Structure formats: C-alpha cells, structure tokens
C-alpha cells in the first residue's frame, strides 16, 4: 500500500518538522539513508518514487522521536564507523568522527605485523572491531565495565567476522598480569561542570558512566598513567581520545608519571586537541 508521499516529499516533511526544534534537520535525511543503506545519490534516484505506507508511518514515528530529543542512531539501532555499520544501544556511546581519527592514527603509526592490542572501555566495540578487521593478524582484546556494552560489542564483532577477545571489568582488572604492545581507550573525560553546555540529547540518552569522569574529567588518564609501565611491553604505545581543552593537562599527567616516555598530543580535523600517544 502506498500513500501520497514520495521519498522527496517525505524528506521535506521531516526536515520541516525538525526545523521547528533544536534537532539537526539533517537527521531527516540520515534516517532515510541509513534505513535503506543508500548513498545520497541513491536517495536522489528514488526521490520521485512513492514511499510505501508502512514505511511512511515508521518514518513519522521516528521523526517524532527525534523531535523529542532522541538520537537518530539509537532510533535506528546502528551508527556508521570507519565505513561499517555498528549496532548501538543506550548502553553504548554513539561512535564519532574523532574516534575514527584515533583509529586511523593507530593504523598508520603501528606498522608491526604481530601486535597484542587492548581496547579499554570498548563500548560498542567500534575501536577494537575496526582494528581487528583492518589488521586481522593482530590479537585484539577489548574490555568494558558494562556487561551490556560488551554484549553489544560481541554482536558487532560477530557481524564483521572479527575475532576479538572480550572481557567485562574495570580498566585492567580483566587482563591482570598481561602486557600489550598497544593499549587504546576512549575513556570518560567530561567534567560534570560542563553539563550546561552539552547537547541535551547526549545528556538524556547516552550512558553517564561512559561520559563523565572525576577530577575535572582527568581521572582515567591519571589511572592509566600509574599503570601503563606495568601493562605495556617495553616498547609499547598508549593511544587515547581526550577532551578538546585537556591537551596540556593530559600531557603533564603522563610526563610526570612516566618521565622517560614520549608524549604526543594530536589535533583532530577541526584543529582541536583530541588525541594523545604515550610511547615508552
């Protein structure tokens, strides 16, 4: 059964609904592209086709949820990352472009064929699964304190046929007495004082324990700094995402704890401090 709407008029309706709110009107197009697996060019090719009635009803419901503040990725249950689709739920953060840049840095910087890699706080598994998919010869382990997040990460690994070792627990607890050539993390790094300037949908829908950290958002970097010497191999490297205002503070934490290490702060595509590498 069809209705009077084509894909183009449905899109325009969705954009009009979102224009009246604080939501990004681009979410109207995002819903159509992701639900069909279309590129923008493919959407244009379908513009004049009638949208099936059942799809129109679903589209209206999804637009209403976005109007209410829910992220489109949670509505669809998936988010793109490094060219692949990853399942996401409210137990996991929505993967973002900055994290793709962190993964690219690792892939470009670590050239050794044999590497034991640990992803701490894996969430949806985006980092761990992508590294394993891109470097099948690496042995990749991923941990998270949330059993619900690890369950989602396992699904993503299975969907991409990536053999990642998963474990539930806080920081290094699940991998006691093991050492790794590369440790990577996108830890919680937001200070509670920043809540007022955060996007409302992030505050309402994304998991608190994956967002906020004590000590002005620096608590996890301090914990890593005290343990890296025991967790990395002698020439190992640590990579992490950081808050855009934390570059100087994070550098000081690692240089103080590991005086002989080389600490590099890297900017993202927008010129903001976003990543750190610590080389023993």
Q: Is 170 annotated as a binding residue?
A: no
Spatial CB neighbours of 196, under 8 Å, sequence gap ≥ 6: none
Q: Is 125 annotated as a binding residue?
A: yes
Closest by alpha carbon to 95, among 68, 130, 65? 130
Tell me if 254 sits within 8 A of 225, measured CB to CB: yes
Q: Is 121 annotated as a binding residue?
A: yes
Q: Is 85 annotated as a binding residue?
A: no
Q: Is 141 annotated as a binding residue?
A: no
Strands 180-185, 116-120: pairing kind: parallel
Place of tokens 């304190």: 145
**What are residue 182's phi and psi, to 5 degrees?**
-135, 130
* Whole-angstrom distance, CA of residue 123 vs CA of residue 189: 14
Q: Is 243 annotated as a binding residue?
A: no
What's the distance, Cα to Cα, between the start and end of the chain in Å? 63
Three-class SS of residue 137? coil
Closest by alpha carbon to 242, among 223, 261, 268, 262? 268
Spatial CB neighbours of 39, under 8 Å, sequence gap ≥ 6: 33
* Whole-angstrom distance, CA of residue 137 vs CA of residue 160: 15
Q: Is 187 annotated as a binding residue?
A: yes
Q: Is 92 annotated as a binding residue?
A: no
Q: Is 108 annotated as a binding residue?
A: no
**What are residue 130's phi and psi, to 5 degrees?**
-65, -45
Place of tokens 């996890």: 220
Q: Is 169 annotated as a binding residue?
A: no
**Residue numbers belonging to the annotated binding site:** 121-125, 144, 186-189
**Residue numbers belonging to the annotated binding site for S-adenosyl-L-methionine:** 121-125, 144, 186
**Residue numbers belonging to the annotated binding site for substrate:** 186-189
């Amino acid at each position: 059964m069809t209705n009077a709407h084509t894909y183009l008029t449905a899109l325009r309706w969705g954009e009009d609904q979102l224009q009246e709110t604080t939501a990004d009107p681009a979410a109207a197009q995002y819903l159509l592209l992701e639900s069909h697996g279309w590129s923008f060019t493919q959407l244009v090719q379908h513009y004049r086709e009638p949208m099936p009635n059942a799809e129109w009803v679903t589209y209206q419901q999804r637009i209403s949820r976005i109007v209410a503040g829910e992220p489109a990725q949670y509505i669809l249950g998936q988010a793109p990352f490094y060219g692949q689709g990853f399942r996401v739920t409210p137990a996991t953060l929505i993967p973002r472009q900055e994290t793709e840049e962190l993964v690219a840095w690792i892939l470009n910087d670590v050239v050794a064929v044999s590497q034991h890699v640990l992803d701490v706080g894996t969430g949806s598994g985006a980092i761990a699964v992508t590294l394993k998919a891109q470097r099948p010869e690496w042995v990749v382990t991923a941990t998270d304190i949330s059993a619900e997040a690890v369950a989602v990460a396992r699904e993503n690994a299975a969907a991409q046929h990536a053999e990642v070792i998963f474990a539930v627990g806080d920081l290094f607890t699940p991998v006691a007495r093991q050492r790794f050539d590369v440790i990577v993390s996108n830890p919680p790094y937001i200070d509670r004082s920043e809540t007022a300037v955060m996007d409302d949908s992030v505050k309402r829908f994304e998991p608190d324990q994956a967002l906020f950290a004590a000590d002005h958002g620096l608590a996890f970097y301090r914990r890593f700094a005290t343990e890296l010497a025991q967790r990395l191999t002698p020439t190992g490297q640590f990579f992490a995402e950081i808050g855009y205002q934390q570059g100087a503070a994070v550098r000081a934490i690692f240089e103080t704890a590991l005086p002989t290490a080389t600490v590099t702060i890297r900017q993202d595509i927008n010129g903001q401090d976003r990543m750190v590498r610590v080389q023993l």
